Chain A
Amino acid sequence: MSTGVIYTETVVHAAPAEFVADAPYQLAIVSLDSGGRLTARIAGERVKIGDKVELAEERNDVPFFRKK
């Protein structure tokens, strides 16, 4: 589950109370090369639909992907 393709994405400006300090941040649904989809955060450079990504790290059980 470490590589995949961006199925859809958004940049969140208005964040829930818990994530206000992180905003704006990019959120995406990743179609995993191993099958299935996963909601993840994007680290580093912004991505668009169709971009190839890889798992960068996990923070508090949240996967962060970055552009490959």
Chain B
Amino acid sequence: MGIGKTAFGAFPDRTLRSLAVEAGEKCMEDAGVSPSQIEAFYLGNFAGPSFVGQNHLAPYIAGSLGLTGVPCTRFEAACASGGSAFFHAVSSVAAGLNDIVLVAGVEKMTSQTTPKVTEILAGAGDMAGEGRAGATFPALFAMIAKRHMYQYGTTREQLAAVAVKNHANGAKNPLAHMRKVITMEQALAGKMISEPLTVFDCSLISDGAAAVVIVPLERASEFTDQPVRILGIAQTSDYVALDAKADITTFWAVHEAAEKAYKMAHVSARDIEFAEVHDCFTIAEIVATEDLGFIKKGEGGPYVLEGRTRLRAERPINASGGLKAKGHPVGATGVGQICDVALQIRGEAGELQLDRHSLGLAQNLGGSGATAVVTVLGSI
């Protein structure tokens, strides 16, 4: 297994293609494979056609990597596009259809104005219902936060604690978009986006790409003496519209995906040493820690505020800085999370290296919970 990531950030001089090619080339170099060995290419991308006006993206990127004559397919599952591409790539290897597969995720977002980006992102929701009424993605997660606060007593400070923690981690990540420590006071005083979420509760609009190479376990020794093993993986779904869900304080699809992935990996939630979770908004990290079974329902707020998910604590969550500080180039995010977990397992995370790093988890969420991908990764 090889991994490769570009820095995440606002890069006005970089094209979508050049970002994806950089990540793909880094990844193939890391894996020690050449383009002629790759048997299939899976690309996660949410809205390339809307952001940069380019369709037919998978063969477009593959061709630039010197990769032709193989199946090249783009996966779109909103913010879980990368995770979905990865899930299907793993499925094809597990089924014996392919041996050496390249997965990439990419998004180029910063060439559009913020209102336009907000409009494109809203397309991951139900445009005929919530979208027409004026719902943005921050608004949907703000409504989740309000209900979570109402049902469980979650506070503004608990939400802000996610941002403070993830910024502290991201400041030590050389590839992060926002390498800046913030205080609780700053986080609480941020510009209001959608009540109760301020700008510090929202992830960033970023450009970036990430890639991984997957091979069957029995062939891993040909490429590395330190393989990262995919122990369990699941993708699940739920209704797209938030108002169609019975209880919006939980991402049911995440809960289901986690159960399946744990079962496949023969582990339980308590065995997971660290996790990269989908903190597109601070409330999403709190809900994710509950849905993944790390803490009881409703207790995700105190769990983060008490510091139990910090870098040197009992179960570090988003040691990389999360989407909050790393940035959230939508299609790249799910693949980037796999890279970050793999980096920890290999023991190559530098200043962010965790003490316990043999069993990690990545959780990628699409829309307001309509797609979920959960992956359990470990050393052998």
Cβ-neighbour of A37 out of B115, B139, B244 (below 8 A): B244
Instruction: Provide the bound-state CA to CA distance between A38 and B119, in Å.
Output: 21
- The binding surface of chain B is classed by DSSP as helix
* Distance between B183 CB and nearest chain A CB, rounded to angstroms: 22
Q: Give the CA-CA distance A37 to B248 in the complex, in Å.
A: 12
Total count of chain A residues near the partner, CB < 8 A:
29
Give the A-B contact count at a CB cut-off of 8 A: 93
CB of B192 within 8 A of chain A? yes
B170 at the interface (CB under 8 A from A): no
Contact count band on B? 20 to 34
User: Across the interface, which residues of B come within 8 angstroms of A14, CB to CB?
Assistant: 114, 118, 136, 138, 193-194
Among A19, A37, A38, contact of B134 (Cβ-Cβ < 8 Å): A19
13 further contact pairs, Cβ within 8 A, besides A14-B138, A16-B118: A8-B147, A8-B150, A10-B146, A10-B195, A10-B197, A13-B194, A14-B136, A16-B122, A28-B143, A29-B243, A38-B243, A39-B133, A60-B132
Determine the chain B residues whose CB is within 8 A of the CB of A38 once the complex forms: 129, 243
CB distance from B245 to the nearest CB of A (A): 9
A27 engages B134 (CB within 8 Å): yes
A7 CB to closest chain B CB, in angstroms? 7
- Determine if A1 is an interface residue (Cβ-Cβ < 8 Å): no
Q: How far is the CB of B112 from chain A (nearest CB, A)?
A: 10
Q: Quick check: is A22 within 8 A (CB to CB) of the other chain?
A: yes
- A27–B140 alpha-carbon span in the complex (Å): 9
For A17, the chain B residues whose CB sits under 8 A away are 113, 115-116, 118-119
